[in-house]
Amino acid sequence: MNKIKIIVQLLFVILFSSCSNLPILPFSSATPTLTLTPSVTPTKTPTPTITPRPTMTIEAYSDLFPLGNAYLPLSDEQIKEVRECDVENLAAERYPEKETSEELIYLFAPENSCDWASLAFAYAERLKDDEKMPDIAKNAFGKAISDNIGFALSTPLFYRYYYDNFTIVETPDILKQNITKVHIEYKWGGMGDQIEYTIDINQADTDPTVTLKNLTPITLKENTKAKVNIETVQALGNSLINLIPINSQFPLTVCYDNYPDWAATLTLADGSKIELNTNESNMIYIGGPWQVNIDGQNYIQFSLEFIKTIDTLIQEIGLPYGQPMAMTCSGSDVFEQAYP
């Protein structure tokens, strides 16, 4: 029976292959298995969203200054604001020492002159000895004094911005005329040799002629000049910029073994006279800051321009300054003396 079955199968294969062009496939009794490989979508890590830090700026001091007219005396409210503003402690609280200058502007939003003063102080505190005051620090200082000029005399700001500031107010109108005469008195005391002299300059606007008096020691007259340049003399008036109003003049004596004292009188073309003094102030090595009374109002110069011009004049004449032997300096209140 099995033989018959095999013969039938063979006949079927032969018959099929002769009637079809399809390839002959082997028979198999096994059931085919379909294998499916699942499609896997990889999980993506979401990209973090970074919110950019907003750009923060401070109005440029050059947009606020210089002013063309002298400041009026401070009001009672302005005096109170400066007195009650603890600049140094506010700066320490709002701008911790670990924060860099680049971060300060983002830490606290100033709303008034006191706030701007503390920010200006924080910037100044981060300066190294060989660095100049950056514009952003001057901008903060400018904002502080634009509404209350008294902050220029706030003790912590005064010592930091006095030497590295900008033109706050221009020369008063009364000084925008020729100087016809100059009278200067200088005295110096300390551990070194005492120095004293008086200088009179006549014909200051045409042919400045120098007369020296009261020389101590008398040998100071050696190698001095009897003539000076007109430009040097006329620069005295033009250099009286940055006059900040004060209630009363005062001595800013912060150093030892260096006691210069200056007094100067400028006679102007209209006959008026301007008197200036250092009041024994020695914050500046050769003496100063200078103080002046114009039309009954006292001012202190918040810059070095007049001092530099005096120095140029003294060197041109050929006179010396006193020589300290063991000078040391410390701080002293400024606003408290300017507005006692």
Give the tens place of pLDDT for each residue, 280-339.
999 999 999 999 999 999 999 999 999 999 999 999 999 999 999 999 999 899 999 999
Shared-domain flag, residues 270 and 179? yes
pLDDT in tens, 170-210: 999 999 999 999 999 999 999 999 999 999 999 999 999 99
Shared-domain flag, residues 103 and 195? no
Shared-domain flag, residues 78 and 226? no
Domain count, the chain: 2
Write down which residue in 161, 195, 222 finishes a domain.
Answer: 161
Shared-domain flag, residues 227 and 286? yes
Instruction: Let me know if residue 138 belongs to a domain.
Output: yes
Shared-domain flag, residues 334 and 191? yes
pTM over 0.85: no
Closest CA to 226 of 246, 205, 211, 207: 211
Instruction: Let me know if residue 123 belongs to a domain.
Output: yes
Instruction: Let me know if residue 155 belongs to a domain.
Output: yes
Work out the angle at residue 75's Cα, subtended by the Cα atoms of residues 73 and 80, and round it to the nearest 5 degrees: 125
Closest CA to 120 of 98, 140, 145: 140
Residue 287 CA to residue 327 CA, distance in Å, equals 13
Shared-domain flag, residues 193 and 155? no
Shared-domain flag, residues 186 and 124? no
Q: Map tokens 């300390």 to a residue.
A: 190
Percent of the chain residues topping a pLDDT of 90: 81
Residue 65's pLDDT is what?
A: 97
Q: Print the domain residue range for 178.
A: 173-322+329-338
Shared-domain flag, residues 153 and 122? yes
Phi, psi of 295 (to 5 degrees): 55, 40
Q: Do residues 312 and 232 make contact, with C-beta atoms less than 8 angstroms apart?
A: yes
Instruction: Let me know if residue 39 belongs to a domain.
Output: no
Shared-domain flag, residues 66 and 156? yes
Instruction: Let me know if residue 91 belongs to a domain.
Output: yes
Q: Write the CB contacts of 333 (distance below 8 Å, at least 6 apart in sequence).
A: 155
Residue 117 CA to residue 87 CA, distance in Å, equals 6
Write down which residue in 161, 194, 214 finishes a domain.
Answer: 161
- 168: tokens are 């706050």
Residue 331 CA to residue 151 CA, distance in Å, equals 17
DSSP string, 276-315: EE-TT-BSSTTSB--EEEETTEEEEESSSHHHHHHHHHHH
**pLDDT averaged over the chain?**
89
Shared-domain flag, residues 290 and 253? yes
Shared-domain flag, residues 100 and 201? no
- 249: tokens are 């003049």
